[in-house]
Amino acid sequence: MEDFSFEARVLHTPYQKPDIYGALSMPVYNTAAYEFETAEAMEAAFCGHTTDHAYSRITNPTVQYFEDRVRAITNAVSVTALNSGMAAITNTLIALTHAGGNIVTSPHLFGNTFSLMKNTLAAFGVETRFCDLTNEEEVRDNVDLNTCAIFLEVITNPQLEVADLRMLSFIGKEFRIPLIADTTVVPFSVFHASDFGVDIEIISSTKYISGGATSIGGLIIDYGTADWSHSIPLKHWYEQFGSNAFTARMRKEIHRNLGAYMTPQVAYMQTLGLETMQVRFNHQASTCLELAKCLQKLAGIESVNYTGLENNPFYTISTTQFGIYPGAMLTFDLASREVCFAFMNKLKLIRRATNLFDNKTLAIHPASTIYGGFTEEQRKAMDISQQTIRLSVGLESIDDLYNDIRQALDSVK
């Protein structure tokens, strides 16, 4: 399949075993357990001497097929599918951190990721150092021999800040620290994270991959490029598995213990979503860019943020890394929180909902929702403004979206 383009590979990845009925759509194996002919075969499966499935918290044929497809189209060494984006982040960070270790990241993070680091992991002695990842000096000042990961979101949400991945990867290589990127906002059909030095890619497959927001899921994509030779928690895994140390510990210890493996029903829906992801993305992202340009000229909108706009401060680095369509999410600022609320309440077509990259266009006021549980001071530190509306652009026509925004703005004036 390697000779084919993304479009063909995403549709035609072969099954691990031919289906006995020749089913063209992937069968859903709704089973917790698997039966064995002999006690010996059972022992071999449970001890990992064969690739037979033993229990669906650990592996499942339908989920494995979803993982295989993602592996085939990303050229990764290994892919693990979990039951949410947060589970993917949690499993990853638990597999490679330890008490006394630290994570270097930005304060511009998805709300739960921020809380995971600041509260949950901190209780286990893992320190998080929040710094400006777009500033090379600051990153260098923060990494040390106890740094377990440099972690970032490739386009932060909702600030839409873009760090230079090659710069971060360069520092990572120098200190033998893996570069871990949450790439949820730009799909791997257009953005090849490993080309920019990302060692482990994490995706909330709830978003672009699932498509119509059918289900919650997460992916851990290991490119096998990280140097684990100095990792304290992966030391003995490294001796046995070398560059696969992370995935070995993930599959043999962490994800079994945390118990957040993807379910077969979700893997089925997300495999279907994956097949149409690129077509949907191209449509949504080009609408987003056009809409961003139109909204810049609309009275009542103070500013528009989308890194694909030529006047955006991150335009050059964004185009280098993501091409002309850096996702299908934009934000814009209105006069005040009150105007934002009034505007949201006047929308007729665009839905008031969280989530990203649904087929439907969604609007949210991040400060009062995703970041509602933080203090105003914490929100300031994360650059979350009360004036900002976030729009996730769906599959509607640009005219309908523009007209809905314009009528809502007109009616709050």
Ligand X SMILES: *Cc1c(COP(=O)(O)O)cnc(C)c1O
Q: Enumerate binding residues for ligand X (CB under 6 A).
A: 84-86, 110, 113, 153, 157, 182, 184-185, 204, 206-207, 216, 218, 356
Give residue number: closest CB to ligand X: 85
CB-nearer residue toward ligand X: 95 or 203: 203
Minimum CB–partner distance for residue 165 and ligand X (Å): 15
CB-nearer residue toward ligand X: 84 or 134: 84
CB-nearer residue toward ligand X: 71 or 207: 207
Rg of the Cα atoms in the chain: 22
Minimum CB–partner distance for residue 137 and ligand X (Å): 26
Minimum CB–partner distance for residue 147 and ligand X (Å): 21
Residue reference for tokens 């990127």? 181
Minimum CB–partner distance for residue 111 and ligand X (Å): 9
- Is there a contact between 133 and 139 (Cβ–Cβ < 8 Å)? yes
Give me the phi and psi of 181, to 5 degrees please: -125, 130
DSSP string covering 296-314, please?
HTSTT--EEE-TTSTTSTT
Tokens of 196: 């920019």
Minimum CB–partner distance for residue 207 and ligand X (Å): 6
Q: How many helices (H) and strands (E) does the chain have?
A: 15, 12
Give 23's contacts (C-beta < 8 A, 6+ positions apart).
Answer: none
Minimum CB–partner distance for residue 362 and ligand X (Å): 12
CB-nearer residue toward ligand X: 134 or 210: 210
Minimum CB–partner distance for residue 85 and ligand X (Å): 2
Could you tell me the CA-to-CA distances from 225 to 28, 194, 243 in Å, in that order? 33, 8, 7
Minimum CB–partner distance for residue 216 and ligand X (Å): 5
Strand order in the sheet with 147-153: 78-82, 218-222, 200-204, 179-182, 147-153, 102-105, 127-130
SS3 241: helix
Minimum CB–partner distance for residue 178 and ligand X (Å): 18
The four Cα atoms 316, 322, 326, 327 give a dihedral, to 10 degrees, of: -170
Give 203's contacts (C-beta < 8 A, 6+ positions apart).
Answer: 85, 88, 182, 183, 184, 188, 209, 218, 219, 221
CB-nearer residue toward ligand X: 218 or 248: 218
Tokens of 250: 């993930």
CB-nearer residue toward ligand X: 206 or 386: 206
CB-nearer residue toward ligand X: 266 or 339: 266
Taking phi over 0 as left and psi of -120 to 50 as alpha, with beta for the rest, 357 belongs to: left
Residue 2 CB neighbour total at 10 angstroms? 6
Minimum CB–partner distance for residue 214 and ligand X (Å): 12
DSSP string covering 115-154, please?
HIIIIIIGGGT-EEEE--TT-HHHHHHH--TTEEEEEEES
Minimum CB–partner distance for residue 410 and ligand X (Å): 31
- Is there a contact between 361 and 391 (Cβ–Cβ < 8 Å)? yes
SS3 329: strand
CB-nearer residue toward ligand X: 234 or 382: 382
The four Cα atoms 35, 272, 69, 66 give a dihedral, to 10 degrees, of: -30
